[in-house]
């Protein structure tokens, strides 16, 4: 009976461990830093979408490769998009609330959106830290990172 217990414990522990291939793949994709990469992607999406201007979005994406992130597109964006949509509403609301609050000579300055300021605050927020920690559970369930990337960004 004692031998069966040891075999059972060994089987459970070995089935819960990550395969060598997955460990190597995670290492190559910097898996231990994904919480930070998730936050970086959140900041980039916040900036891209915060202006609500396709020309600005296109220009950023074209000129700065920080805004094109295969890992982000394939894995992070699914959970980030609804969060960022809420942040864009907050940016828009802040801009709308500033209407008629300033004298005529200052309106042109203060009625603009505060996209970068808002996105930096969001980046540094406990709320985003909590989101990234919750997502780690999902990331740990990914059996093959490259397969997930190819689902969103196919190679031909």
Question: What mean pLDDT is predicted for residues 13-18?
Answer: 54
Strand, helix or coil for residue 99: coil
pLDDT, mean of residues 5-11: 51
Contact indicator for 52, 118 with CB cutoff of 8 Å:
no
Give the separation between CA 63 and CA 4, rounded to whole angstroms: 62
Q: Which of 130, 135, 50, 35 is nearest to 94 (CA)?
A: 50
Residue 5 inside a domain? The answer is no
Average pLDDT, the chain: 84
List, in sequence order, the alpha helices (H) in 29-76: 34-50, 54-63, 70-71
Report pLDDT for 13: 46
Residue with more model confidence, 113 or 53: 53
The pLDDT tens digits of the residues spanning 73-119 come to 999 999 999 999 999 999 988 765 555 555 555 555 555 678 999 99
Tell me whether residue 10 is in a domain.
Answer: no
E strands in the chain: none
Does the residue 8 lie in any domain? no
Whether residue 3 is contained in a domain is answered as no
How many Cβ atoms are within 10 Å of 84's Cβ, its own excluded?
A: 23
Task: Assess if residue 65 is contained within a domain.
Answer: yes
**Is 98 among the domain residues?**
yes
Enter the pTM of the model.
0.79
pLDDT of residue 94: 72
Domain count, the chain: 1
Contact 71, 77 (CB under 8 A): no
Is the Cβ–Cβ distance between 35 and 133 less than 8 Å?
Answer: yes
Res. 57 pLDDT band, cuts 50 70 90 = very high
- The alpha carbon torsion through 32, 38, 43, 44 (nearest 10 deg) reads 100
CA 101 to chain centre: 34
What is the mean pLDDT of the segment spanning 44-51? 94
C-alpha closest to that of 124 among 46, 60, 33: 46
Is residue 39 a part of any domain in this protein? yes
Q: What is the pLDDT of residue 41?
A: 97
**Range of the structural domain that residue 51 is part of:** 33-152
Of residues 64 and 17, more confidence is placed in: 64
């Amino acid at each position: 009976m004692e031998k069966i217990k040891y075999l059972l414990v060994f089987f459970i522990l070995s089935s819960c461990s990550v395969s060598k291939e997955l460990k190597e793949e995670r290492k190559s994709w910097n898996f231990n830093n994904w919480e930070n990469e998730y936050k970086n992607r959140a900041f980039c999406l916040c900036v891209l979408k915060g202006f609500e201007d396709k020309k600005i979005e296109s220009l950023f994406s074209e000129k700065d490769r920080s805004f094109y992130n295969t890992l982000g597109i394939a894995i992070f964006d699914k959970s980030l998009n609804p969060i960022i949509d809420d942040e864009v509403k907050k940016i828009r609301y802040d801009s709308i609330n500033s209407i008629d609050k300033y004298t005529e000579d200052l309106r042109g300055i203060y009625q603009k959106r505060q996209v970068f300021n808002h996105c930096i605050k969001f980046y540094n927020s406990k709320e985003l830290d909590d989101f990234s920690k919750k997502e780690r559970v999902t990331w740990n369930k990914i059996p093959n990172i490259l397969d997930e990337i190819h689902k969103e960004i196919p190679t031909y």
